[in-house]
Amino acid sequence: MTELAKALTADSFAAHPAHILEGIPDSLARTRIPNVPHTLYEELWHITFWQQISLDWIAGLETPVPQQASTGFPTPEQTAAEPWPQLHARFLAGIAQAGTHADDLPNLDREIRCPSTPYFPTRVMSIRDQLISLAGHNGYHLGRIVLLRQLLNAWPPPSGGFTW
């Protein structure tokens, strides 16, 4: 497994994404903390949303970038429509797919088109660069999930996670 694949799917630089998310019941995932903008659910939905856009671009689908940041977080209707276990499984399936792309060495330098926000030109980058961006984005939001779990007294996860 390449280091890029580990950064996406394993414990390269932080706790394993599956471990960060384990043991979270649906009710805890939806718990609001005062003065915190997003729940655990909303953070994971956001990661999964952008992850799918990255995977679409890698597949050659020029999925447009939302015109406003709020579109990258779920509406109450979207939150109500998908139970936490389903969202959790969808995220893990996506990172597995991203990890497969990261281990596909002959294709990592293939250029893909990545639409930008309105009024900016479509970016062209390698699959490798898009996966590096995805790993950074996921890592940032998974870190927020760890912090939210700590605030909710739900850390470490059953596997232990990283506790320092």
Exposure string (b/e) for 80-110, b if CB count within 10 Å is 16 or more?
Answer: eeeebeebbeebeebbebbbebbbeeeebee
Predicted confidence band of residue 160 (pLDDT cuts 50, 70, 90)? confident
Q: What is the pTM of this model?
A: 0.95
Looking at residue 117, its pLDDT comes to 82
pLDDT value at 103 more than 70: yes
Predicted confidence band of residue 164 (pLDDT cuts 50, 70, 90)? low
Mean pLDDT of all residues belonging to the chain: 94
Q: Which domains occur in the chain, in start order?
A: 3-151 (1.20.120.450)
pLDDT value at 162 more than 70: no
Looking at residue 46, its pLDDT comes to 98
Of 44-58, 119-133, 148-162, the one with minimum mean pLDDT is 148-162
Looking at residue 163, its pLDDT comes to 64
Cα separation values, 83 from 7, 9, 134, Å? 26, 22, 24
CB neighbourhood size of 68 (10 A): 8
Query: What single letter denotes the amino acid at residue 163?
Result: T
Looking at residue 118, its pLDDT comes to 78
pLDDT value at 120 more than 90: no
Render pLDDT for 42-76 as a digit per residue (tens, 0 to 9).
Answer: 999 999 999 999 999 999 999 999 888 889 999 99
Predicted confidence band of residue 14 (pLDDT cuts 50, 70, 90)? confident
